[in-house]
Each structure stands twice: as C-alpha cells, then as structure tokens.
Chain A
Amino acid sequence: MSSQMVEKIDAVSLDSSFVIADRTFRSRLIVGTGKYRTNDEMVRAIEASGAEMVTVAVRRVDLDRSKEEGILHHLDPERYFLLPNTAGCYTAEDAIRYARLGRATGMSDWVKLEVIGDERTLLPDVAATLDAAKVLVAEGFQVLAYTNEDVITALRLEDVGCAAVMPLASPIGSGLGLVNPYFIREIKTRLSCPVIVDAGVGTASDAALTMEQGVDGILMNTALAEAKDPIRMSLAMRLGVQAGRLAFLAGRMPRREVAVPSSPVTGMID
C-alpha cells in the first residue's frame, strides 16, 4: 500500500455524514456546554471534541452581574450550531415556554426537548415529552427529543414528527455508561429518524460501545466537563465515537465459545 493511500484512511473519510432535518453533520459527537470549570476550558474542550453542534440552556440574565455572562460571549454561533435545550423543565408547558424562548434568539428553530419526571433519577416524563413534542412540531420546531431507552416511546416520538430521538445510555450526569445495549439497538433498528444517544456516557470506551450499537451519534456533557482534563477527554471521546462507528460499519467477528487458531494448523515440522 502506498503512503498516499494510507494518508487517505481516516475515520471521517471512511464514514458517511449524517443528516438531522435539513442539516448535515460530519461529527457524530454533540457536546454540552455546562459545568466546565472555566469558559476557556470549555472552548478548548469543544474544539478538541470536533463537535459541530453544541447544546445550550436558556436561563435568566443575572442582573447583578455576579455570575458568568451569556455563553455567546465565548462561543461563536457562526462556528458552532447551537441547540437550545429545555433542561430543568418538569412539565410540557414549561418545556414549550423554554423552547419558544430559545427560538426567539433568532438562531434556529431547533430544540433539544427534555421534560424531566423525577429529581433523583432525572428520568424523562415520557407522556409530557410526547405532549410537548406534538405542540412544538406543530409550531415548526425541529425537535430532538431526550427520552428513555423504551422503544415504544421512541416510536411515538418519531410518529409525532421529531427530527431525532435521543434515548439515554444511563441517567444524566451518572457516567454509568451504556446500561441497555439491546434496547438501544432495537430503537435504532425500528426508527427511520436519526437516533442520538444522550446522557450517561462516562468515558471513551462507553462512547465506542454505544456507537457499536449502530446509533447515529452521541450527545454528552458531564463526561467531558468533569474529567480531570476535559481537553484530553474530549479528544478521547472523539476517537471513541469514531472507533465505535467504524467498528459498527466494519461488522464485528462472531463470538465463539471455543478458540480458533489464527496461524495455519498444517505445515508444522516434525
């Protein structure tokens, strides 16, 4: 193999881009912007992750200026596609209100819809999520819906017109990794819209294992922001996502309960 050919083999060239609604993405890693120690660290970590889409939250302006200024002082919306979330909302009504506020910034009509059902687990209230999704889709939003790993809810969310369905790997901020690969695989098999695993991935091997299930991408925040070194972890996650994606495309060898030699069993000397 010539060195020229070798140069052409990289993860991006061996993968396809993927499309959500009307936008094409090369990076299958979507990252959040919360919980970083400093804004500078956040910006560098996002850069290292290679993400094209980043999530943001909608909150009151701090009128005393004692806290941070808005994220737009640090992130260039020309460079990153911003996905406003409805984090912290416990009712469909609140989530709809936050989605509308996010859209009113004038950036896009995309929203990461999450309606939380319980403070301890932060698991989604799927009935309220479906109700909110219906309203937002009717209002012209591109809804990327956070949900649990239940295939029936995932199908319903697709039915009501969500642009992407985002089942969790494990609870938000838990770092427990992919607890239910079977259901994630089933969701990917059954849905036609993009499936992004959102929440719970803790380290690069979790990211690879998740992508090996065939999903279109992963959304993460805490695993990067809470790493000792978020910049290194962001690169590790980028590579983990790429490794898992390529392994999925390549198709793994069968698992066997017995050993099979890799070297010829014939031609042995006496």
Chain B
Amino acid sequence: MMTVKVNGEPREIAPGTTVSVLLEGLGLHPRLIVVEHNREILDRTSFDATEVRAGDSIELVHFVGGG
C-alpha cells in the first residue's frame, strides 16, 4: 500500500490505482466530480489512464449550495 492525500487527508491505496478506481472505491460518480491531481485539473477522459502515485495530492470537488 502507499499513502496519498485525498481532500487533505492521508489515505492508503494500492499501487497502480487509477483515478477511476479511486473514485469507484469512494462510491463517487465521476460525472458529478471534478478531480484536481497535484493541482492540475484532470480531464474526465483521462480518469481511466491516470495512475495515482505515492505522495500525490488529489482534490475531489463538486457543486454545493452557495450564493
């Protein structure tokens, strides 16, 4: 296992985990989520191909109520 940061919190994931697999493991629907990988916004079409590496920082954001 390796440690990555997801939304500011450390998480243990298996080496080779892709962004798609990470989202699936968290029960998140990729269509409603925007992913920032090491401060770069990831295009949805590259979720399958992008592997998360040890020490990476992932931000998962979506729309919430606001003014």
Contacts and interface: CB of A to CB of B under 8 A. Distances in A.
Contact of A87 (B34, B60, B67): B67
Interface in A96-146: 97, 100-102, 104-106
Interface residues of B, number: 24
B59 interface: yes
Contacts of B27: 65
Given A58-B63, A59-B66, A68-B65, 7 more contacts: A32-B65, A33-B67, A58-B61, A61-B61, A68-B64, A70-B62, A101-B36
A97 B44 CA distance: 17
A72 B62 contact: yes
A61 B33 contact: yes
A97 B34 CA distance: 12
Given A100-B41, A101-B34, A101-B36, A60 B60 contact: yes
B60 A61 contact: yes
A57 B7 contact: no
A172 B39 CA distance: 29
B34 A105 contact: yes
B67 A32 contact: yes
A36 interface: yes
B26 interface: yes
Given A63-B6, A100-B41, A57 B66 contact: yes
B34 A104 contact: yes
Interface string B37-62: 00101011000000000000001111
A72 B65 contact: no
Contacts of B60: 60-61, 63
Nearest to A61: B60
Nearest to B26: A63
B32 interface: yes
A57 B36 contact: no
A70 B64 contact: yes
A66 to B, nearest CB: 13
B41 to A, nearest CB: 5
20 contacts: A33-B65, A56-B65, A57-B67, A58-B63, A59-B61, A59-B62, A60-B59, A61-B61, A63-B26, A68-B64, A70-B32, A71-B62, A71-B64, A100-B41, A101-B36, A104-B43, A105-B63, A173-B67, A219-B67, A221-B67
Given A70-B32, A100-B41, A104-B41, A57 B63 contact: yes
